[in-house]
Chain A
């Protein structure tokens, strides 16, 4: 509350005058001889409490009346009108106003309201308020969402109104803290003689206040003399997609999990969700809300599938119904493997080749990506060729010729998975390993168990769910030279580690060496559940297959792209609206920051190309469309925001209300005096 005639407040102590007069000059009764006071005393005692209360109330009413009278003449001004027109008149504008208009263009301002968007309604209110300003007033327009833009002071309020009317909401969240800090910074530059105010053309979304440091006084640059006024929109039912997740599927395929959310009483379950992609499509009904995905789609095989999943939900905000996805996935030319075993004995149950064969049979039955042909090593006449992408060889002392064939195959780009330690054939020169640059270091015959992979996972496969310590090995091959890195270790009971799986490059190809056998007498690895994912991971490494991953970023975030080409190259990125821009890739990595709109962005750095998805950031709660019921600014009523703004900024003079109160107090005092005294 403020006062237009504050000097008159010095007369406030006059309100105590009735009390003082009552104490200093008590009422003097005239003497009246009476026959007997017996009955008077009885009557007085029966009404003592009531009379005392009435006298006290009369005194208080007199004090209140004087208080209200002095208050009325001091012309108090409050920020909001109460009791309608009885409150008083809008206080006159004595000082020119400097107004910062914070126009919210976050995602939630796209929501529908009364046939228009919230942004349209807010812009109209803002234009009306700007139109109500005087010739000496000035304003600055600042657009904000999760960031606050720049603003400049101008007296051309019509131009500001026009800019406001043409503004469109974006896709970002809301951060009121940054917007208010910008506003306070702008207002700090204005002279103190001007009245300062901030108008928030926003929906007062709860998500936007999450970053506020408690009360508004904690905002940097806070000025208590600045009046804050803004709009509030009611909550609206809305459903939205909030992200995707990728699961490995069999056969190199993937499963796309889509997550949704709902608010305002709108359930996100049972809604139709459609999947759109260039080469495939699908439809599903969303599941009831829980911790799991709302819908799951099977993605077909193929390189770099991309598309979008969209909720068919008629709600207030349609812009958050779609989520885009782009998978980084490369299909190798051939996924056929050539398994070279030592002899027919190796295909018998319990032998390594037998287990490998079972693996491929199971993989084929499940529609897996890898298939295999089996032949004896000695029958290999020529390099496996391009029909095969990798070989699995059970190494041991063998002819030099096959070793050379395999060496050529790997050098040409193929992969070789060498299983050492054929059961029963310990020792001897390992020809194939030798040709690949490995020098044998002897055989260790003792108890070993499998430790965890060196880097925690192998080719993206997580083995933490397997009890690796129960996998025993009794024979391990050592190497005095190994042009490879240790990917996995054995550990003996004393804790000493020995390489179990080594991997490296040989020419253009890749080599993996398992330093033991796969046969049951030597190890029980092939009998454990970990065997199949282990072989799959090894084959992926041999084929140079990277795990499928989503290429995505959030709106307003940074996309970290990867290229095979390690050189500095120019990468062209085309946004969903067709805008093309360029970034430079160094060491196979590039960063793209112009992620203002959601959708599929195409990048190209020949011969490489691909897409990545930019999606709305649902973590901030922007899509919930729930307002904060008590925002830290005066809420302007929707019926006449200009008048409400004037009342908030200039205030309402409640002098006439106080005069009415004075009259009421005097009237009540008069009536009570007549009855009580």
Chain B
């Protein structure tokens, strides 16, 4: 797997899960011990492979006898939340700064996969949708960690292209979201202000809980180039010749203002907003993200 290595997955699962802060209609949340006794009206939901730290009370010994492998029974009373992780695969996400290890797409994809892994590890469901102006691809929400492989493969196959935050495809995605699920959008949100505002409204129209995660490259803020360059927009193709050193300070001011505008745009709509640069260690970013949830 490109983005979610086994080591990373193991590290994610080792993270101490916290209770999900939102209620999706039931009285139990996350992975806290159920108030119901075993064998009561809990409904069997699915098997999942045993991982270190899983509750051994729910080990299915019959399956172990048959397969010589440990599996944990999951029941529907655990109130698992279905997270819809949506990634913007527009052309701007392919940007990679001269000092960055990977593009913004790689960064967002890795974090999305890490998040999905984490959510699954704590008993929630995670689904993945990749959208752009060129179309959408998705993996249905599941609690089965084997879905992560499928997600990884999907993300690896995507080549970012098209305009940022296409409204029509996103509208279809939002309308298809279940009411008691949650939505996390990964994007750089580099779109014209009107489109960004429409996007925020669309996201806000979703009844469930939503978060917007902004992936940024440090070079987009600092313009580390010297000389005289023609900056070419990766989505529109527009070229602007200028001297980065001459505009560095002014661009920095504009960038900071824009970040604040983006955060405000989502926060007034009740959407949690979080931004991170690609040069931040992924696990540090992940921990910050899961603190929000």
Contacts and interface: CB of A to CB of B under 8 A. Distances in A.
A35 B104 contact: yes
A32 interface: yes
Interface in A74-90: none
Interface in A39-54: 39-44, 46-47, 51
A3 to B, nearest CB: 39
Given A39-B255, A676-B246, A29 B241 contact: yes
A40 B225 CA distance: 14
A51 B246 CA distance: 8
Interface string B214-245: 00010010000101111111111011111101
Contacts of A38: 190, 192
A116 interface: no
A31 B240 contact: no
B152 interface: no
Contacts of A365: none
Interface in A622-677: 674-677
A37 interface: yes
Contacts of A455: none
Given A35-B188, A35-B190, A40 B246 contact: no
Contacts of B225: 32
Interface string B236-276: 10111111011100110111001000000000000000000
Nearest to A27: B228
A39 B258 contact: yes
A34 interface: yes
A36 B235 contact: yes
Q: Which of A36, A39, A42 has the most CB of B within 10 A?
A: A36
Contacts of B241: 29
Contacts, number: 91
B228 A35 contact: no
A30 interface: yes
Interface size class of B (residues with CB under 8 A): 35 or more
Interface size class of A (residues with CB under 8 A): 20 to 34
Nearest to B217: A35
Nearest to B236: A37
Nearest to B242: A44
Q: Which of B188, B191, B229, B246 has the most CB of A within 10 A?
A: B246
Contacts of B217: 35
Contacts of A35: 92-93, 95, 104, 188, 190, 217, 220, 233-234
Contacts of A27: 228
Nearest to B248: A43
A517 B3 CA distance: 152
Interface string A15-34: 00000000000011111111
Contact of B242 (A28, A31, A33, A40): A40
Contacts of A51: 246
Given A39-B255, A677-B245, A34 B231 contact: yes
Nearest to A54: B246
12 contacts: A29-B227, A30-B227, A33-B232, A34-B234, A35-B104, A35-B188, A35-B220, A37-B240, A39-B255, A40-B242, A44-B240, A674-B245
Interface of A: 27-44, 46-47, 51, 674-677
